[in-house]
């Protein structure tokens, strides 16, 4: 349970970093909005993403893992679709924000494995 809470915190931190670093990725609001978006992204990554990765495993293997980036971008796009305070202006911003969030989540995931 502590690991999941750390991942949600990491998602909020990753969203903050992406909104700071990527000009076309805008997350307006305060801590509450970052927390809400982080919780939703964490829930999507914990529930929907494993199913999508299982179903698209042949494509992931053929693309040498690049299709996982598309799945992650889809999860981020869903957060943008659900919340009005998250705005992604174009595909370029979506891809860059996905890469930043994936890097931060990889770091947080490695720290979570040390804690568990």
Q: How far apart are CA 9 and CA 115, in angstroms?
A: 14
Alpha helices in the chain (DSSP H): 2-21, 31-55, 57-62, 66-82, 91-115
Tell me which residue of 26, 6, 2 sits closest to 76, measured CA to CA: 26
Q: How far apart are CA 39 and CA 23, in angstroms?
A: 23
What pLDDT is stored for residue 46 in this prediction?
86
pLDDT, tens digit only, all 116 positions of the chain: 777 788 888 888 899 889 999 999 998 888 888 889 999 998 998 899 999 999 999 999 999 999 999 999 999 999 999 999 999 999 999 999 999 999 988 888 888 777 66
- Residue 54 half-sphere exposure toward CB, CA atoms < 13 A: 5
């Amino acid at each position: 349970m502590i690991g999941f809470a750390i991942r949600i915190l990491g998602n909020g931190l990753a969203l903050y970093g992406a909104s700071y670093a990527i000009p076309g990725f805008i997350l307006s609001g305060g801590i509450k909005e970052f927390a809400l978006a982080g919780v939703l992204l964490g829930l999507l990554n914990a529930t929907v993403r494993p199913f999508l990765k299982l179903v698209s495993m042949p494509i992931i293997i053929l693309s040498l893992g690049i299709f996982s980036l598309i799945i992650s971008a889809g999860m981020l796009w869903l957060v943008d679709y659900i919340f009005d305070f998250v705005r992604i202006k174009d595909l370029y911003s979506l891809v860059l924000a996905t890469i930043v969030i994936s890097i931060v989540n990889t770091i947080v995931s490695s720290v979570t494995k040390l804690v568990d």
